[in-house]
Structure 1
Amino acid sequence: MSARFLAVICTGAAALLASHAFAAEPRPVVVELFTSQGCSSCPPADRFLSELSDTRTDVLPLAFHVTYWNQLGWKDPFSFEAVDARQAQYVKRFRDFAYTPEMVIDGKAEVVGSNRSAASSAIDDAKSTGVTVATVSAAREGGGVSVTIGPGRGRARVLLVGYDARHVTPIGLGENAGRTLTESNIVRSFAPIGQWSGAPLTLHANAVTGEHMAVLLEASDGAIVGAARVVDGQRAPAR
């Protein structure tokens, strides 16, 4: 997966003033659920993620479907190998093995995805202690996306994530055979579109696969330090 982009550095006092105006605004806590339709332990975590999607605008829930359960008889149609590679980076930080359902909160903490109490506590901790290095806003423009990042300190990789709002899938084989799964915010693609280095930055990228999109700022240690949903039409300030 790749996205072609053009970076334009924006400077001037107006950009700096806008940055300070929005600096205190909260941004969504990013919740990544590593899951699979071939995993019998995953449906409760999938339901929890759906509830987060339906009830909390202060959380950006994303379901990443891994491929390593596909050999049990059911190939998850939403799984792809880049998800396995993303989870492998978290494995290096948190555990010695990959598992599902694993929920990673803001790239800094992980819990079993079906453990609602632990997940909710981790989300609350992220809201109170999470770092936002710069404001982010993003909007669709034609067949692409325009991303604006304000000034700040540090460096971060800019990721564009595409996801579908909801799918209902009858499962024919494997551990969940006979069940119908309803899953939300299913990641269909993600790609790096640039690098932010502290100065105000505007990126223009091709849209990635998915009904909706979001932008993540990811620090070198994997922590999420900025995020925004991509809005349709005129750009709005990031939450």
Structure 2
Amino acid sequence: MRKILKTLVSACAVMAVVQPAARADQLIVVELFTSQGCSSCPPADALLTELSQRDDVLALSLHVNYWDYIGWKDPFASVAATERQRGYTRPFGLGYVYTPQMVIQGRRQMTGSDRRGVLEAIDREAAVARMTVKIEGDAGTATAVLPARDGAEASTLWAVAFDSAHTTRVERGENGGRTLAYSNVVRDIRKIGAWRGEATRVPLPMGELAPGHDAVALLVQADTSGAILGAAVLDLARRRP
């Protein structure tokens, strides 16, 4: 009996670890709003790095600029990241923004260091159908390809350029004296069009987005609910000679 139980336990362990690789057009988008000026952010940054290794997750590190005033200017902070975070306050019914905040698929939010809550939210989103979108092309010319979808919510198309990794020695502020590492750091995010359920092809502004960056992602995000309906990534680093 013990041998049988041991065999079953081993089989269950294998099943829990071995998962089929996710399709590149069926990603779950996880956004972390963070700052080098926030002392509670490093654990959330570490969790995002862990998530960035998953095949089924598109993990994005968005650095906000509203902590820059306390003594250290985050070199990756942007107005665009702050505005994107503020845009989530309405669908989530929040009257404020905070760091570290993790947003999963535009539909769930929680403290970015809440490992259990984040993993549970990702599991729940994995069961929700996502539309298939693609990016065709390369660093020179790329096109977003969207299918027709009846009854689709009016949505915005976002192009996001990001770097796979950065490390910063923070000299001042709440994290002064620490060396912090980040994954999938967003360097540019911009609207490139709208989608109303029709099959369409939209060119990506690669000349503005891509130079020097490791990847470009496309997010299809519902205007009212904020839900991300689909996402795709073009890995530029792998295509470089």
Do they fold alike, i.e. is TM over 0.5? yes
Alignment of 1:57-96 (within 5 A): 57-94=55-92, 95-96=94-95
Corresponding residue of 1:167: 166
Corresponding residue of 2:215: 212
Contact 2:25 2:231 in 1 (8 A): no
CA offset digits 1:192-219 (Å, max 9, x no partner) = 1111222211111212153211110001
Deviation at 1:147, TM superposition (A): 1.1
Alpha-carbon distance in 2 for matches of 1:205, 1:64:
20
* Bigger relative contact order, structure 1 or 2 (CA pairs below 8 A, ≥6 apart): 1
Between 1:209-218 and 1:109-118, the stretch displaced more is: 209-218
Q: Which runs of 5+ in 2 are unaligned?
A: 1-22
Correspondence 1:144 to 2:147? no
Deviation at 1:143, TM superposition (A): 2.3
Contact 1:143 1:206 in 2 (8 A): no
Deviation at 1:67, TM superposition (A): 0.3
Alpha-carbon distance in 1 for matches of 2:38, 2:97:
13
Deviation at 1:222, TM superposition (A): 1.0
Using the size of structure 2 for normalisation, the TM-score is 0.81
Correspondence 1:97 to 2:96? yes
Corresponding residue of 1:198: 197
Larger radius of gyration: 2
Corresponding residue of 2:10: none
SS at match of 1:230: strand
Corresponding residue of 2:183: 184
Contact 1:140 1:232 in 2 (8 A): no
SS at match of 2:119: helix
Q: Once superposed, which parts of structure 1, at least 4 consecutive aligned residues long, lie more than 6 Å away?
A: none
CA offset digits 1:156-207 (Å, max 9, x no partner) = 2111100010001100000000000010001001111111222211111212
Aligned residue-pair number: 207
Alpha-carbon distance in 2 for matches of 1:116, 1:110:
12
Deviation at 1:232, TM superposition (A): 5.0
Alpha-carbon distance in 2 for matches of 1:149, 1:232:
20
Corresponding residue of 2:5: none
Alignment of 1:120-131 (within 5 A): 120-129=119-128, 131=129
Overall identity of the aligned pairs, in %: 41
Contact 2:155 2:220 in 1 (8 A): yes
Q: Which amino acid is 2:220 matched to?
A: L
CA offset digits 1:86-130 (Å, max 9, x no partner) = 11111222221110000000001101000100000011111113x
Corresponding residue of 2:37: 38
SS at match of 1:160: strand
Contact 2:162 2:185 in 1 (8 A): yes
Corresponding residue of 2:3: none
Give the superposed CA RMSD.
1.8
Q: Which amino acid is 1:226 matched to?
A: G
Using the size of structure 1 for normalisation, the TM-score is 0.82
Q: Which runs of 5+ in 1 are unaligned?
A: 1-23, 234-239
Deviation at 1:26, TM superposition (A): 6.7
